[in-house]
Amino acid sequence: MVIDNGGQWTHREWRVLRDLGAESEIVPNTTPLENIKADGLVLSGGSPRVGLNAEAMGKCGEYIDKSGVPVIGICAGHQFMAAHLGGKAGPSKVPEFGKTLVSIDDEDDLFKGLPPTIVAWESHNDEVTELPPDFVPLAHSDNCAIQAMKHKTKPLYGLQFHPEVEHTDNGYEMFQAFIDVCQAHKKE
């Protein structure tokens, strides 16, 4: 399920999942937890500053804490996840829009087999400034130290850049990797 936080590319996330053959649905972030029936959740990006405004992010916190399925936060979803779990998010010193080079520091599940540096598409004024406890960084860019993060043991991921955008290299592979994580988690 794609949780809609009002991003310009929310519908793209749905499209990439559908293109990869996953059954997918966009729902508002105010959907009650009991109606969230999915094998994995994507917390979408949002309109300006929404990632720092817990109220505008609806029930995203509940989904992270209680849905029991893998969750990936993108842009505002990523920032919210960090702040919600005890890290920090705030205004970027240098906001990034459009084409950015992202260096992958740790392939983990999400970036398995990808080149060390990829072209990624960005659109953010804010970013994660401090990781939550038990999270590790996976990627960075010149202007943003935490382009990707992951929980050490739980299937929780955050990406500052937008893998769903056509111009991001290897975006489909990242979504496929997340689908694989969801399928593996379902079997456990």
Partner 1 sequence: MFDAEKFIDQQVKKVRDEVEGRAIIAASGGVDSTVCAAIVSRAIGDRLLAVYVDTGFMRKGETANVDKMLGRLGVNHMVVDASDEYFDALKGVTDPERKRKVIGEKFIRVFEREAKKFDAGYLVQGTIAPDWIESGGGLRDTIKSHHNVGGLPADMHLKLVEPLRDLYKDEVRKVARALKIEVAEKQPFPGPALAIRVMGEPTRESVAIVREACAVTEDEIEKAAAAGEMKLPWQYFAVLLPVRSVGVQGDIRAYGFTIAVRAVDSVDAMSAVYSKIPHDVLERISTRITNTMKEKVNRVVYDITDKPPATIEWE
Tell me, yes or no, if 144 is annotated catalytic.
no
Angle between helices 10-19 and 171-187 (to 10 degrees): 70
CB 103, min distance to partner 1, A: 20
Tabulate helix, strand, coil % of the chain (nearest 5): 25, 35, 40
Calpha distance 15→45 (Å, rounded): 15
CA distance 148 to 157: 7
75 catalytic? Reply is yes
The least CB distance from residue 135 to partner 1, in Å, is 26
Identify the active-site residue in 60, 75, 144, 182. 75
β-partners of residue 156 are 71
Q: Which of 13, 96, 127, 164 is catalytic?
A: 164
| Least distance from partner 1 to the Cβ atom of residue 7, Å | 7
Catalog residues that contact partner 1 under the rule CB under 8 A.
4-12, 15, 18-19, 28-29, 46-48, 50, 56, 97-99, 121-123, 165-167
Catalytic residues, by residue number, are: 75, 162, 164
